[in-house]
Structure 1
């Protein structure tokens, strides 16, 4: 199904779109505090990101919902989360280590922290959204997300994401998200802003839901 928002045409991605969308993801996430923390060496980063985002995109196409634009300049990877996550599968961990090599410990830690502090309430999770550098700042990312937000609003379903920089955080606030308690990555890592887009209230965006580390939930 294709939806049009302003001048951006959004459609669901297919496996035929894999190569260009992997490049969009790798380029969009190449610079930034999380990238610097994960892989300080730029030459290594480029090679690892190509393999890592190939894994990410294939996983999204198989297990989630992937939207793109008609010109393949942007991509968003969503996952329905009707219940709390149950942990990383052994198969995924093997694939992650193969893709990221010596940098696997930090990638594993990042994914584990995201999972541990995930909201309990049913929602859809925006794992990744990326816009090619030459198209950034033109409203493409907002249009891509608004297309999916309309579907969520129609069924009263919240959305959740993690923002890795202040520019993106400001965009998500404009799109109706509310910031929650941040995560600070260890070993001098950057701050990650957890954000929730719930059903709007009379006073504005819905409050961020109460959360606790996954380990405590499992202990009960």
Structure 2
């Protein structure tokens, strides 16, 4: 389904959109405390991020829901998580080692921490939201989210995400998310804010669910 939100066209992405959307993700996430922690060298980061987000886009197109704008300047990658998702740990470890090389251990640690604190309650998971840096602060990301939020409210489902900086945390709070317990990455890593937009209820929205950390080993 294609949706027009004022002057912004929001539509499902296809494989034909992959190239531009990989670039949007790599550029949008290139700066910030998480990027600095994952790959301190900016030149190496650009190379690794392109490979990492290429994997993310194609995985989202195959297994999730990917939305973009008419001009391909923004992208959202969602995954329905109606039950706990199994993870092929050996395959993922091999993929991360191929993508990140010497930086793979921190990518492994990041994904392991995210998985360990992921809620079990049925929801849709916003894995990535990115807007071309030259088009940020124009309400594009908020419009892209609003499109999915309408669908989730119709389904009676909540949404979950991790925010990696205060700017994004403030955006999600404005859009109806609530902050839950944080994740603090080890080895002097940054704080990650776990965010929850509850399902509509007669009294408002469902609260942030209790999460029992579950471990997996990569």
CA drift of 1:86 comes to 2.3
Q: Secondary structure at the match of 1:210?
A: coil
Question: Counterparts of 1:81 and 1:44 in 2: how far apart (Å)?
Answer: 33
Contact kept in structure 1, 2:153 and 2:200, CA below 8 Å: no
User: TM-score w.r.t. structure 2 length?
Assistant: 0.95
CA drift of 1:28 comes to 0.1
CA drift of 1:82 comes to 1.0
CA drift of 1:61 comes to 0.6
Question: Counterparts of 2:139 and 2:103 in 1: how far apart (Å)?
Answer: 33
**1:121-132 maps to which residues of 2 (within 5 A)?**
121-132=121-132
1:65 matched residue in structure 2:
65
* 1:161-181 superposed Cα distances (whole Å, 9 cap, x missing partner): 000111111111111111100
Consecutive unaligned residues of structure 2, counting only runs of 5 or more, are: none
1:25 matched residue in structure 2:
25
Q: Secondary structure at the match of 2:54?
A: helix
1:81 matched residue in structure 2:
81
Question: Counterparts of 1:85 and 1:202 in 2: how far apart (Å)?
Answer: 29
Q: Secondary structure at the match of 1:114?
A: helix
Question: Counterparts of 1:27 and 1:205 in 2: how far apart (Å)?
Answer: 34
Question: Counterparts of 1:64 and 1:90 in 2: how far apart (Å)?
Answer: 21
1:116 matched residue in structure 2:
116
1:190 paired to 2:187: no
Deviates more, 1:112-121 or 1:198-207: 198-207
Kindly tell me: are residues 206 and 173 of structure 1, through their superposed partners in 2, closer, same or farther at Cα, counting changes over 3 Å? farther
- The alignment covers a number of residue pairs equal to 216
* 1:120-145 superposed Cα distances (whole Å, 9 cap, x missing partner): 10000000000000110000000001
Contact kept in structure 2, 1:142 and 1:175, CA below 8 Å: yes
Kindly tell me: are residues 68 and 186 of structure 1, through their superposed partners in 2, closer, same or farther at Cα, counting changes over 3 Å? same
CA drift of 1:205 comes to 4.5
CA drift of 1:87 comes to 2.7
Question: Counterparts of 2:86 and 2:115 in 1: how far apart (Å)?
Answer: 9
- Runs of 4+ aligned residues of structure 1 deviating over 3 Å after TM superposition are 200-206
1:164 matched residue in structure 2:
164
Kindly tell me: are residues 154 and 200 of structure 1, through their superposed partners in 2, closer, same or farther at Cα, counting changes over 3 Å? closer
2:42 matched residue in structure 1:
42
Consecutive unaligned residues of structure 1, counting only runs of 5 or more, are: none
Question: Counterparts of 1:109 and 1:72 in 2: how far apart (Å)?
Answer: 31
* 1:147-197 superposed Cα distances (whole Å, 9 cap, x missing partner): 011111001011000001111111111111111000001011100000111
1:54 paired to 2:50: no
1:139 matched residue in structure 2:
139
1:212 matched residue in structure 2:
212
Aligned-residue RMSD, C-alpha: 1.4
